[in-house]
Amino acid sequence: MGGAATDRVVIVGAGLAALSAALALAPFPVLVLSPEPLGEGASSAWAQGGVAAALKAPDSPAIHAADTIRAGAGLVDAVVAHRVVQEAGEHVRILADLGTPFDRSAEGGYVLSREAAHSFARVVRVRGDQAGAAIMRHLAAAVRATPSVQVLEGVRAVALETAGGEVCGLRLESAAPGGSEAVVLRAPAVLLAGGGSGGLYALTTNPRRIRGEAIGLAARAGAVIADAEFVQFHPTAIDIGEDPAPLATEALRGEGAVLRNRDGERFMFSVHPDAELAPRDVVARAIFLQSRAGLRPVLDATSLGPRLREQFPALVAACARAGIDPVQEPVPVAAAAHYHMGGIATDERGRTSLRGLWACGECASTGLHGANRLASNGLLEALVFARACAGDIRDAIGPAGCLGAPPLRLPALRPLPQGHALAAQEDARLRALRRMMTDHVGVVRDGSGLRRALAAIAGLEAAAPPPSEAFRNICATATLIAAAALLREESRGAHFRSDFPAPRGEIGQRSRLTLDEALALRRQCEREMT
């Protein structure tokens, strides 16, 4: 195993949180590890809704915070919520200054969309459903133009190196199919911003690589994981057989699109007083139950007419691939894994339970989202905590950290013998894992299914030949989600247990779990299954 060292802060990931942190750290020297070409393959680029911010009266940050707390079903850290929403307007302005072409009115103000569980229209958007892609284009351009930032593409982190309980580096591999021999990289600070876990499920709206690896590698190093059981399922993935599933943004329902089943019934009226604009977990379960009953739910946006083509081009393009014209006909939809509220536990500065390791973005759990993320708060959280992490890392490293560091020259990442054959075997394991997670750790859960899931994950991880480090990270995150879901014997927010269908009180307790604790529960389930 080769080795290298750098004086640069190493950022794992290349989405909104990672690139924002890299810019905020300047002029401190930074190394960004991107598995794919910069700006591609990150969930941030696929975000359609935009950034939530209270920018126009009578809306206010206090109301935005109240909506966030209400949506989070008794688990939101109120201090975090108030802090994040107070910073929202400033971050929108920063993105606009970078060139993000947010939709504007004739008078120059922001055009705001209303999404589920928001009291007001407060989501700043780009061409209806293009916010994430537009923001990422401009962030990537700014990063490439920043002299203090070096980007290594085609590389992924598969393990953290620790010494005396402190993170001191990472093990890196090629992100190409088949992987490579590992290289150990020593670094003064590591920031994990590697995305969420949606790809652990058979039906997801996330890019293919977003399958919990950042959470898993932190957990395998001993980091505490918070609220792992809370996975948000987007109600309106476009159900046309694509993997990942394209998304019909929530803004469509804010503009007047409605949900029907194959009988033409608007079924949300009987589920929640806010109908289509009910919290995401409520709508997702309703969609799931309609699907399970064979009633084929659809999103009917025909009332929006031809303006769909201009305001929601991603929807129109996805439907066109399946021969559907959403201007003229309803769009089939299904609930799909979309966002992981849980993740690496952090404090208000982005510090994890391991010295030398920070986390931000979807792989982190800050306390903002609670049991159910308020729509379009994800990008906002990434922006706020990316800056918080950058500030704390600067403080930890001290003034000497901005003196500069030469570009890293990484040793050659030599392909593994039989790497492609091993990759094919792991693809089969991953398909089995994703199917099992959807069946037993999905929209509706129960104790029996969760125990089966934990035993099945153990079997996949134990199968010969031994799995790669990357697959072990994936299995670690799947184990944490299923174990935390089994331990939470109530229904709260996005976590719904059919055997415990009610919450235990209005205010709940956040879960905190180490991988060792989750593995102990997994072993118990294995014994029960044999």
* Residues labelled catalytic: 280
Cα separation of 12 and 298, whole Å? 38
User: Nearest-CA neighbor of 188 among 155, 161, 158, 157?
Assistant: 161
Question: Both tokens of residue 210?
Answer: 């977003």
Question: Both tokens of residue 415?
Answer: 């392909």
To the nearest 10°, report the CA torsion of 25, 30, 35, 38: 60
DSSP letter string over 243-310?
SSPPB--THHHHTT-EEE-TT---GGGGT-TTGGGS-HHHHHHHHHHHHHTT---EEE-GGGTTHHHH
Question: Both tokens of residue 326?
Answer: 């959403």
The HSE-up count of residue 205 (CA atoms within 13 Å, CB side) is 30
For residue 515, give the amino acid letter: L
Phi–psi pair at 208, nearest 5 degrees: -60, -35
The HSE-up count of residue 330 (CA atoms within 13 Å, CB side) is 19
Cα separation of 325 and 316, whole Å? 7
Pairing status of strand 9-12 against strand 30-34: parallel
Q: Which helix (H) or strand (E) holds 450?
A: helix 447-462
| Cα dihedral 300, 234, 16, 51 sign | positive
Question: Both tokens of residue 209?
Answer: 């690589």
Does residue 13 come out as left (phi exceeding 0), alpha (psi in the -120 to 50 range) or beta?
Answer: left
